[in-house]
Amino acid sequence: MGAQQRPTIKTVAARAGVGRTTVSRVINGSTLVSDEARAAVLAAIAELNYVPNSVARGLVTRRTNSVALVIPESESRLGSEPYFSAVIRGVSTVLTATRTQLQLVLVRDRGERDQLTDSVAERRVDGVLLVSVHEDDPLPGILENLGLPTVLAGRRSPSESLSHACSDNLGGGKEAGRHLISRGRRRIATITGPLDMDVSRSRLQGWRDALGEADIAPDGRLIATADFTEEGGMLAMRSLLERAPDLDAVFAASDVMAAGAMLELRRQGRRVPEDVAVVGFDDSYIARYAHPSMTSVRQPVEEIGSTIARLLLGEIADPGAARQHVMLPTELVVRDSS
Amino acid sequence: MGAQQRPTIKTVAARAGVGRTTVSRVINGSTLVSDEARAAVLAAIAELNYVPNSVARGLVTRRTNSVALVIPESESRLGSEPYFSAVIRGVSTVLTATRTQLQLVLVRDRGERDQLTDSVAERRVDGVLLVSVHEDDPLPGILENLGLPTVLAGRRSPSESLSHACSDNLGGGKEAGRHLISRGRRRIATITGPLDMDVSRSRLQGWRDALGEADIAPDGRLIATADFTEEGGMLAMRSLLERAPDLDAVFAASDVMAAGAMLELRRQGRRVPEDVAVVGFDDSYIARYAHPSMTSVRQPVEEIGSTIARLLLGEIADPGAARQHVMLPTELVVRDSS
DNA sequence: ACCTCGCTTGGGAACGTTCCCATTCTCTGC
DNA sequence: GCAGAGAATGGGAACGTTCCCAAGCGAGGT
């Protein structure tokens, strides 16, 4: 039972006493069908428990009603990095509403990336969402050449040509800097992400702008680069303390790195926030669970997810349409670490 | 450019000077092809940059090389619940290695679930992975009736008939109980998950067993049920403290609930671990980030993910094979909260 | 020298849809 | 009463692959 031959559009047509085409028209909501024919078809569909075969449909329509969401797993582990989970959630919300399937692709290394482009070339998806792209990432270019609609979460540079949604990283960094200054701090360090990513550069620039506004002279010893991991944040903090032992605040470009920094601060006997104030970025649960709870720049990650999904669906529906760039606001959430 | 007509198997055949079938044979690795024909075909494929159309292939083979991973989003938000991220990671690892696509389905409510069964009926996937099933969940039965290979992470009951992988929840609960007893605690409470889930019942039973071993009389006032959320853990803790103010330890069936419990304990002025020892379950980053850091029962979540993926691929390859049940060991990780 | 067997090969059919087009039927207007 | 328009309908072809089967072609055995 259960596994017997499933009905096709022909079976339905026979049962309803009409032709294949009429059934197809009913399924696809064409108006050029008489009421009685439509009723007969709908009855037959219900009786036979018929569901159209989406693969056969895809062969002729050249549409799969599914999009890929590509997440680079190498650099920031899904799970320890709540950012990705939130993006997935936002994307999924929009896709489910439009009955589009979500193909999740975790890319760990180069080999897997090549597989990905194959899979995309196999026309298994109508479009691609890319998260966390580096400036020199070849993937967006490849996809563009394949003529496949592509939308980014984040951007490769401020002049990004592909459609994308990102948060106001410059503004967020500036807000973090201003906040620390307003708390009376003057030796304010920063831990940035990889500098080949626009997120990192923008947040760094925001921090610089805030310091500039307050006429605090730039000091290279107060800048350390890490890789968005806790371990990296720890090491960066250590290096900062060596080069600038008198620092009294640090702005990290992610909560995870800020958590690593706080670990190192405690290890070296510096109190947070009394000796060193800390501000993170993301406002994930890590900020809430941290001890002391962490001040952090909130970015609307789930909304980024839903936005890129919406942009992609638009681009699939109308490939000729103009590319769109969306920037979402950030917001400082003040807690005990600053 | 880029979007011009993509080559088909016919184009390749013409270019290589052979028939369609020979090209197909080369692609699918048949040995019944002469070396020179194979060489010609491979050359043509390379020159034309040909990639087989997987949709057309799927139409005749009735295989899509993609499986669905279904995650109920309602009860435990992806992201705040690291369990799901880890499962996804494990699943993805195995699938990528076998070039199988992963369709991620977040199910929020009944309506979305119905869509899911439709989508499954449309034959878009070769099999389904279900996470976090409740005892009376209709989905496994529906899928079984559709004749679609189905594998569960976790089980509906100890006599689960479908293939599944789960961790040794009974053993884990027992270990947690024994540990607290070994710390000299005697009034040991527990916060369980929903009792219509086997995970919850098994962990509870393990806790009971441990208490029984130590000849501690059961006491209903020491049991509270929550829903695997932080909020729920908080409320459960409050209720426990009301009913049994003399409790000196609590075992929560998840880290998230344990975190909620710790919050409530602190609010009521009980020190952890001096007044009340706390043990969680999962050993997620929440346990590490908690303050004090949390003792927790580690379960190999990523391995559960890779196991169910492997089981599903096996079942797809050989639908007649016997169902398999895998139980993975847990391990107590002792930290400062106990 | 002929038959047979095994290795290669390629054409036809099928998978289940949608789209194009021709056909039938009905109704309107003169 | 008849031409023409427009609505409704259904058959054929196509989408790009795989599978079935028939056929070509040497070689080896009798």
Specify the CATH number for the domain of residue A74. 3.40.50.2300
Q: Judge if B310 and B290 occupy the same domain.
A: no
Give per-residue pLDDT as tens, A308-331. Answer: 999 999 999 998 889 999 999 999
Q: Are residues A209 and A268 in the same domain?
A: yes
Q: Quick one: B185 and B221 in the same domain?
A: yes
Q: Average pLDDT of B46-54?
A: 93
CATH of residue B46's domain is 1.10.260.40
DSSP B84-117: HHHHHHHHHHHHHHTT-EEEEEEE-SHHHHHHHH
Taking the CA of residue A21 and the C1' sugar atom of nucleotide C22, their distance in angstroms comes to 14
Domain extent at residue A130:
62-166+301-328
Chain B residues 123-142 with CB within 8 Å of chain A: 123-124
Torsion of Cα atoms, B210 then B211 then B215 then B220, to 10° = -150
A53 CA – C17 C1', rounded, Å: 8
pLDDT(A77) > 70: no
Based on the domain organization, do B175 and B286 belong to the same domain? yes
**Amino acid letter at A70?**
V
CB A238 within 8 A of CB A264: yes
Mean pLDDT is lowest, of A64-78, A258-272, A290-304, for: A64-78
Degrees (nearest 5) of the Cα angle B116, B119, B123?
Answer: 140
| In contact, A244 and A222? CB cutoff 8 Å | yes
Q: Average pLDDT in the A11-15 region?
A: 94
Q: Is the minimum distance from the CB of A55 to strand D below 7 Å?
A: no
Nearest chain B CA: its distance from A211 CA (Å): 31
To the nearest 10 degrees (0 to 180), the angle between helices B35-48 and B20-27 is 90
pLDDT of residue B76: 53
Bridge partners (DSSP) of residue A178 are none
Number of domains in chain B: 3
A179 and A293 assigned to the same domain: yes
Average pLDDT over residues A243-265: 96
pLDDT per position as a tens digit, B109-134: 776 777 777 777 777 899 999 998 88
Q: Which residues of A touch B144 (CB under 8 A)?
A: 2
Strand order in the sheet with A223-225: A223-225, A188-192, A249-252, A277-282, A295-298, A331-333
pLDDT digits (tens, 9 = 90+) for B228-247: 989 999 999 999 999 999 99
CA–CA gap between residue A111 and residue A107 (Å, rounded): 9
Whole-number pLDDT of residue B313: 97
- Compute the distance between CA of residue A233 and CA of residue A191 in angstroms, rounded to an integer: 7
Strands B127-131 and A223-225: unpaired
pTM for this structure? 0.92
Q: What number of residues does chain A have?
A: 338
Question: Could you count the other beta carbons within 10 Å of the beta carbon of residue B161?
Answer: 12
Residues B149 and B256 in one domain: no
Give the range among B28-32, B108-112, B122-126, B142-146 with minimum mean pLDDT. Answer: B108-112
What is the pLDDT confidence band of residue A3, given thresholds at 50, 70 and 90?
very low
Per-chain mean pLDDT for chain A: 92
Residue B2: band (very low, low, confident or very high) from pLDDT cuts 50, 70, 90? very low
Q: What is the spatial distance between Cα B209 and Cα B216, in angstroms, rounded to a whole number?
A: 10
> Is it true that the peptide bond before A158 is cis, omega within 30 degrees of 0?
no
Which residue, A216, A235, A217, is CA-closest to A226? Answer: A235
pLDDT exceeds cutoff 90 at B73: no
Work out the burial of residue B193: count CB atoms within 10 Å of its CB; fewer than 13 is exposed, 13-18 middle, 19 or more buried.
Answer: buried
Cβ of residue B65 lies below 7 Å from strand D:
no
Q: Is residue B1 part of a domain?
A: no
- Identify whether residues A129 and A18 lie together within a single domain: no
Is residue A337 assigned to a domain? no
Q: What is the mean pLDDT of residues A277-290?
A: 91
Could you report the per-residue pLDDT of B266-290, keeping only the tens digit for each?
A: 999 999 999 999 999 999 888 988 8
Residue pair A266/A260 in contact by the 8 Å Cβ criterion: no
Question: Is residue B252 pLDDT above 80, yes or no?
Answer: yes
- Res A120: pLDDT: 74
A61 touches strand D (CB under 7 A): no
Percent of chain B with pLDDT strictly greater than 90: 76
